[in-house]
Amino acid sequence: MRADEIVERVRAEGWCIVEGIIPALDLPEVQAEVREELDRQSAGWSAEVSRISNAGFQMPPKGIVHAQAVINRLPWLARHVANPLLIEAGEALLGRYFKVSSVGAIVTYPGNERGYWHADWPFNQKLATTLPSPYPDAVMNLSAIFMLSPFNKQTGGTILLPGSHRRSHNPSGGSHTEQFEPHSAEVTASGKPGDVLFYDSRLWHCVAPNLSAGPRMALNVRYSAWWLNLEFRRKGSPEYERLLRDSKGKDNSVPLIPQAAFDSMPESAKPFFAHWVER
């Protein structure tokens, strides 16, 4: 798929599958290292779930584990995150000088719960750093799910509502019924390991039940327009401290990248991460 085809699909439908972004020869290492990082952060995720519960926020679906900032320990992943095809499409949609705003990982285990309909940051109304609806009809943020396991209905490929990125709201701030009711037009993102689900972050989507016998694993990457304020996600910044005082939403901060990790990234990838290096 060419970059212009990706752009056309994302503008029209809100999403597309870009095949083979992680080469087959690289997949075993990526899968093993990301799985190890998910295991390493599993205790921290359990603590975060408890914190969310104690704060009275909506709980994430049972049977999943998130890992934050995996790029900090696996900086060589930057060469995949900054794949030239994705960068070309990103520049066409977001403009030049866009940034990588986060690189995380997720695993859904067999029997996990279906999640709630939402859009990604900054459109998720349950987060502290959210853009209130109605949203302007503009691409501000792009999301990419790098498949490290097969994605299909059996394994729990992400559920999407095509075209919903053009709506001025999403169900994350609505009633329980709005958040969890299936849509007749929903589809399942399907692909093989190494493929990428690339979408406008406004697109409605939710975690799907994993009906298979094994875990389904992926990298979650966010790309932000150069003008989108990320300082509210930087712990210790004046904006973040103000947010702590004033907001009742979930913390959506992102750990900074150690200088040594940044230094080891490919030169071509560094411009997309330089804004988030520890100072």
Q: Write down the domain spans for the chain.
A: 3-276
d(CA 182, CA 186): 7
In this structure, of 154-163, 170-179, 199-208, 230-239, the range with the lowest mean pLDDT score is 170-179
pLDDT in tens, 146-158: 999 999 999 999 9
pLDDT in tens, 198-221: 999 999 999 999 999 999 999 999
Helix axes 3-13, 84-94, angle to 10 degrees: 50
What CATH number labels 3-276? 2.60.120.620
For the chain, give the mean pLDDT: 93
Token digits of residue 255: 């750990």
pTM of the model: 0.95
HSE toward the beta carbon, residue 117, CA cutoff 13 A: 24
